[in-house]
Chain A
Amino acid sequence: MSNTTKLQDFLGGMRAISPLIAAVIPIGLVFGAVAATKGLSPVETGLMSALVFAGGSQFVAMDIWSHPASWTGVGFAALLVNIRHVLMSASLGTKMSGFTPPTRYLSMLFLADEIWAMAEFRAKVARLTPAWFAGLVAPFYLAWVFSGLAGAALGAFLGDPVVLGLDFTFPAVFIVLVMGFWKGPETGAVLLASGAAAVATQHFVPGVWYIAAGAGAGLAAAMLTGKSQDAEVTP
């Protein structure tokens, strides 16, 4: 691939992720502000955003944060919240034929939900290239780290994020992404199974098991409907 096409691909990725960057900045500010109330210094907050780079698990860690910090507690919570990344990377991995194996593993380190969703959308219409993927990652990563830092530094000056509704940015982004994957009734079955299992698990089981439970139930629903369709084709 020539350097010009690489640059075009990189810019294409940047264009695709730009609305999500605008959406992630308030989420990062809220995260930083919450971290400051939990006693994390701006440097610690920035380190967490840079090294973990997974918003959901970072918010959960702030929920259960203690002093001194319990590495087993937040480590296990991160594993549980992010177990969905196993499915995400398995799914995206099948669409990375244009990547060398080292690039594939390197790219997966940046598999945040938003980046992954945009890469999945792209793979439906065109061949996913490393340059296009890098165009998603670079600005989004910087926006996440620096908005977290800014939130931690500004802290109390931001006002109450709940009153402003800014805490809702995170779920709103997820809803928009879900709607982008709608493909018809079989998607409805997946969403129904996933949503019902997640709500029920969250109600009855303490902690964050609901994410793994919902994802598993949605996957099971897809396998069941997929099997029955296979059976219709080959009686």
Chain B
Amino acid sequence: MTVDLATLVAILAMAAATVLTRLSGLVLIRHVSLEGSRRKAIESIPPAVLMAVVAPTAFATGIAETLACAVTAFAALRLPMLVSVALGVACVAILRALGL
């Protein structure tokens, strides 16, 4: 149960970088006014950000991942969040077992 000094410093560097990104948006909106088309752009941030994180997995990893992403997305239109996630995970496990 030891904490390596280099590891601790690395963790603190990650934490500092993350805190910086989380707080700077708040500082930013104090200095930039958000009206009209900027307001609209702000509302597009959630899907833009989430899509950027997930796109390489969804479209450029393998057939199993792409199909499972499609299944998850369709499930999310109708089913509760957790059920959709579980379906996606089951789907990817089955497809990988089939060798896709």
Contact = CB atoms under 8 A, between A and B. Distances in A.
A binds B: yes
A165 B13 CA distance: 31
Contacts of A94: 29, 34, 42
Given A78-B14, A85-B18, A90-B28, A191 B47 contact: yes
Q: How large is the interface on B (under 10, 10 to 19, 20 to 34, 35 or more residues)?
A: 35 or more
A176 B3 contact: no
Contacts of A113: 49-50, 53
Interface string A195-235: 11111001100000011111101110111001101100000
Contact of B44 (A199, A218, A229): A218
Contacts of A166: 89
Given A171-B54, A194-B52, A195-B59, A52 B1 contact: no
Interface in A28-86: 40-44, 47-48, 51-54, 56-58, 61, 67-76, 78-79, 82-86
Interface string A138-174: 0000000000000000000000001111101101111
Q: Is the interface of A mostly helix, strand, loop or mixed?
A: helix
Interface stretch (A7-15, A129-137, A179-187): A179-187
Contacts of A126: none
Nearest to A68: B6
B20 interface: yes
Contacts of B93: 163-165, 168
Given A74-B10, A165-B90, A82 B56 contact: no
A83 B21 contact: yes
A230 B47 contact: no
